[in-house]
Amino acid sequence: MSLLRRFSQRIDRISDSHAPVDTDGARPQSGLFEKEVMELYESVTSPAFTLTDLPALLDAVKNLGGVGLNDRKMLLEKLIIVMSKRKDTEFSKKMQQIVINLLYKDLPHPPSGYLCLPQAPTAQANNVANNSRVKYAFRSADGSNNNPLFPTLGQAGSPYARSVPSTNISPKSALPDPGLVFDTLLKRDKFTEHPGGISALFFAFADLVIHSIFNTNHTDWTINDSSSYLDLSVLYGNSESQVDSVRRKDGSGKLWDDVFADSRLLHMPPASCALLVLLNRNHNFVAERIFNINEGKNFKDPAILTDDEKITQDDEIFHRSRLVNCGYFMNIILGDYVGAILGLVRDQSDWRLDPLMTIRELSHNFAPVGEGNVVSVEFNLLYRWHATLSEQDTAWTESVFNEIFEGNDLSKITIRDFKEAAHKHLIPPKDVKAWTFNKLKRNGDGRFKDEDLAKILHDSTSRRAGAFKAKGIPEVLRVIEIMGIQQSRTWGTCSLNEFRKFLGLKPYSTFKEWNPDPEIHKAAAALYKDIDNLELHVGLQAEEAKKPVPGAGLCPGYTISRAILADAVCLTRGDRFMTVDFTPFNLTAWGYQDCQYDTLDGSYGGLLTKLLFRTLPDYYPRGSAYAHFPFLVPEYMESHLKTVNPALVQKYTWNRPRPLSSTVPVDSFADVKKVLADSSSFLSAYDGRLFTTVKPILAKKLNRDTMRSEEKMRTALDKASVKLTTGTSEVSKHIFSKPEGDVGSYYAKKTQALVKCHTFSKVGTQVRFVDVVKDVINILPIHWISQEIAGLPLKTEANPSGLWYEQITYEKFAEISEYVYLNFEPVHDCHLRESAQNNTGEILEVIKAHIDKIDSWISISDSQNHLAMGEFNSHAFLKKLWQSSGKGSSTYREFASQIFAAVVPTAPLYSQAVATVVNFYLDADKHAAREEIVKLVASKEKDAADKVMGYVYEALRLDPPVAGVYRTAAKDDNLGGIDVKAGQNIFASIYDANRDESVFGKESKVANVANHATHGTVNFGEHGLLTSEFFKSTVPHVLSTIFSLKGLQRGPGQSGSFTRFTEEWHGGQRTHYITQRGHLTPFPDSLVIQYNN
């Protein structure tokens, strides 16, 4: 296997070396041969189907168009396994298209029948100010207009659909008493833990899904007061008045804090409401960011708008934010929820069934999408999952029922008693801002305490749900179940076997086949006499449940298991706003990418993780299993991983999260400077993260005896970490304290060469353009590191046989840099760590091979590097450095890691700083400053470089590339009059420190150029390429080369400015840059300048 992989990798290297330098805009593809070889290897060693799958396949061939599939043979689960294992293959894609088509066509579109004739209601008028000018898609309050051709399809207030017309001739009078049915088949005999480790939080979220699409009218059971769409109506409401009740309508597009529209959730176990509050907060987060980004440049401060303008702006931000939030809801359903249903999260698979995919059929027609939905009574009954109530949620429900029924015997409560109690106790206040749940209290600002919400959610994650089974529903819900049975009979619902036939499943021939437990099937036979009389609701609840196997995680009854997948596909694929109108145009570019799940975030394809990290950051620390696997009990998941993949266990923390200590903000110049300067008293996470990037490589040198002992392993890695820090410091002195050769001249010439190489022209003129950030500044230190220090095989016009493209290499460096230095968001930690480790491994292998060649004279891998590297100075430099600092004290891997750590992580920070300075001085009113910088660099004055750096630091003061950094106090201290305890986190605001009026006076235009020499403007820190000596030796030459261009000015329009926005952060401001793909990044990626040839 490893030999085959190495061989294929070498073939890929040869192919990469012959690839063109100019890709004509295409994103370079590498590793294709290795991918094909490994796919072939996997197909041979682990075929898609085996002999054990033969019975299920034969059953499908024999019965698919006839009597129906025997779902006990688990064909669907086997298909799920095959598709997930072959996830990136055309075979898997084609199979997935077949499965999605099959599931979507399980239900008729539009429905063929209703419980009563729809009264042809008119679609609700669009609730947007100045609607004639609205050019974006948005959801109506009641779900109307989802299908413009049938505008009332799925609208709230419409009748339920009937999917299966029943031909069962058994009269209602022949059916058993509902109370007797409950007492003999459904009443919980004992609590049984869910066999697949599903947590109570899964079913709390299921409550949101179910209540979003089902709300049976209290007076007319044929009417559904909810829309038939996953439009988060539980949060926003199903009517204009409900939507208005949760909106502020102040021009911000936000909701009132921590409110929601559906009062039914107030009477559910509290985790459902807690999740709904987080979705409220997510809406407001999205609305604020859409306003700050202002993609269309049409949003303004509401304070300066007229009332009409304010409403128009509020409508647009609200509706776009709702689409994004519903995108979150949809992808939590498809990623986390369906992922748990199919056991994909448990089995560490990030593959997901994609019901939204575009499918072109053999007829060349597109498979339908966005046709609309109408939920049916059959699926209303299917989602009665009361058997899964955890022990704690059962106790909570009993306490609520005892309160509203005033201590009466719950086993004797009638439907009339329930209705009277509901009218008396369960009607909430009209003002949604006054609602509360679980006896929580709101703060003065109207919000619930984070710690209260976190406790509810942590409790729910740690509690095991109940198993699906007959005799599994708590007695406290007896009246609810009796009402459900009566409802189903009032609706004339089909039997279980009729529903199975409708789904293409083999009908049961005996009660024993339905449930092999003698107590259950004998009781059912006594009650219903004939298996064809078994009514749907009871049959679904008391059916034998699946066992947890690959492809099955939820483990409900077999019929439910098949039906919920069809429903999930229909609800998402049939919704216009989740398919054809789910676009960056409607959601904004940032909003569209923000609600996509990241398969590398450590949660194996989900979005709930992101929601938890975003809305409760102090209660979900990075790496917490409570955030990454919220739908699985942590104890279960940890135990499972220890069995199937022990290496993964150490990547997560499994204990219940403790709240983080409050962060102390520090904003005065003196205090921030103190925090940044005293690295022993105020600890950064940089060294630890830097070691994390190289740890997989350094761990390879550990012997087997060490790796078998956890204690020995930890001791060895601790020593390696200390050695990396000290070794990197020593290497950095050689590189940066006294840079080899004339490094300033190198940077000046390379800047000039890159400008020339990447310039493009305006037709018929001498006007030239160049993306000075993307094509010059960002890759400038990459060239220096590759050619002068580390010997990386960069592909350029001067070295067309190289392996690594400039932009791809920069992206790898940027991921490493962001992980080590700018890793502020816990949700990105896992992805950044994995990417940084992979990128670091590639770089270290090259540097190690060079050192191997230097020390041993023979290295096959380094010979390949030289073929792809060209003639550069790096080998001579590495030889000198190895002989003076590495040989005899470090292994090849250790020394390669030290060189990597010294130069690679800070290269993007260097580019970030230079780009900021260039952008700052491109303004027309700073023309004189540009000329002065060019003049100073060309002069022979002794202090010319210092004067240039005055301009540099002034730009960085007024527009700091990094707004602030975190530190941890190593001992008790006092900062700005605030006592800081050892272990407490500190946020040092560089943004605020650089505006400290006691030091810099009133902010003005480049008025403090001389101040840096006196006061030492606070910067990001002395690391790598940002060390003051190296910075001073190179940056003036880069600036002079760029600012010397004739007729220099910004490029036309938006291309001549950074695509960025600012937002409040710890009382100051921080800047985000937006890439062309809509992602946020701390690094600028484009700035076009114009000059004359």
pTM: 0.93
Across the chain, mean pLDDT equals 89
Residue 319 reports pLDDT greater than 90: yes
Which helix (H) or strand (E) segment holds residue 1063: the answer is strand 1060-1065
Task: Confirm if 318 and 560 have CB atoms less than 8 A apart.
Answer: no
Pick the closest to residue 963 from 942, 991, 984 (CA basis).
991
Higher pLDDT, 1011 or 823: 823
DSSP string, 796-830: -SS-TT-SEEHHHHHHHHHHHHHHHH----HHHHH
* Neighbouring C-alpha atoms within 13 Å toward the C-beta of 204: 33
Q: What is the mean pLDDT of residues 657-685?
A: 90
> For the segment 875-890, what is each residue's pLDDT rounded down to a tens digit?
888 888 888 887 878 8
CA 222/CA 821 separation, integer angstroms: 59
- Between CA 15 and CA 18, with CA 16 as vertex, the angle to 5 degrees is 70
Tokens of 117: 């004739």
> For the segment 232-289, what is each residue's pLDDT rounded down to a tens digit?
999 999 999 999 999 999 999 999 999 999 999 999 999 999 999 999 999 999 999 9
Buried b (16+ CB within 10 A) or exposed e, 248-264: eeebbbbbbbbbbbbee
DSSP string, 180-242: HHIIIIIB-SS--B-TT-BBHHHHHHHHHHHHHH--B-SS-TTEESS-SS-S-HHHH-SSHHH
Q: What is the mean pLDDT of residues 813-825?
A: 96
Residue 127 reports pLDDT greater than 80: no
Q: Kindly indicate the confidence band of residue 821, based on its pLDDT and cuts at 50, 70 and 90.
A: very high
165 upstream amide cis, omega within 30 of 0: no
Identify the structural domains of the chain with CATH numbers, from first to last: 131-591 (1.10.640.10), 664-1092 (1.10.630.10)
Task: Give CB contacts under 8 A, 24+ apart, made by 636-643.
Answer: 636/197, 636/464, 637/197, 637/346, 640/197, 640/346, 641/348
Kindly tell me the burial class for residue 848, based on how many C-beta atoms sit within 10 Å of its own C-beta (0-12, 13-18, 19 or more): buried
CA 120/CA 132 separation, integer angstroms: 25
Q: What is the mean pLDDT of residues 210-215?
A: 97
CA 839/CA 205 separation, integer angstroms: 37
- 1066 annotated among ligand-binding-site residues: no
Range with lowest mean pLDDT among 179-188, 407-416, 683-692: 407-416
Residue 856 reports pLDDT greater than 90: no
Pick the closest to residue 639 from 629, 709, 610 (CA basis).
629
> For the segment 543-580, what is each residue's pLDDT rounded down to a tens digit?
999 999 999 999 999 999 999 999 999 999 999 999 99
> For the segment 462-477, what is each residue's pLDDT rounded down to a tens digit?
999 999 999 999 999 9
What percent of the chain stands above pLDDT 70?
Answer: 89
Q: Kindly indicate the confidence band of residue 409, based on its pLDDT and cuts at 50, 70 and 90.
A: confident
Residue 125 reports pLDDT greater than 60: no
Q: What is the mean pLDDT of residues 474-485?
A: 96
CA 440/CA 447 separation, integer angstroms: 10
Tokens of 692: 């994390």
Tokens of 328: 């979150």
Residue 1015 reports pLDDT greater than 90: no
CB atoms within 10 A of CB 1: 8
For position 1011, what pLDDT does the model report?
A: 55
Mean pLDDT is highest, among 1-5, 367-371, 917-921, for 917-921
Which helix (H) or strand (E) segment holds residue 760: the answer is strand 760-761
Can you say how many angstroms the Cα of residue 6 is from the centroid of all Cα atoms in its chain?
Answer: 33
Tokens of 779: 């890759």
> For the segment 697-726, what is each residue's pLDDT rounded down to a tens digit?
988 776 655 666 677 788 888 898 999 999
Question: At what angle are helices 826-856 and 608-615 packed, to 10 degrees?
Answer: 110
For position 77, what pLDDT does the model report?
A: 85
Which phi and psi (to 5°) does residue 252 adopt?
-95, -15
- Between CA 663 and CA 669, with CA 665 as vertex, the angle to 5 degrees is 150
For position 1076, what pLDDT does the model report?
A: 86
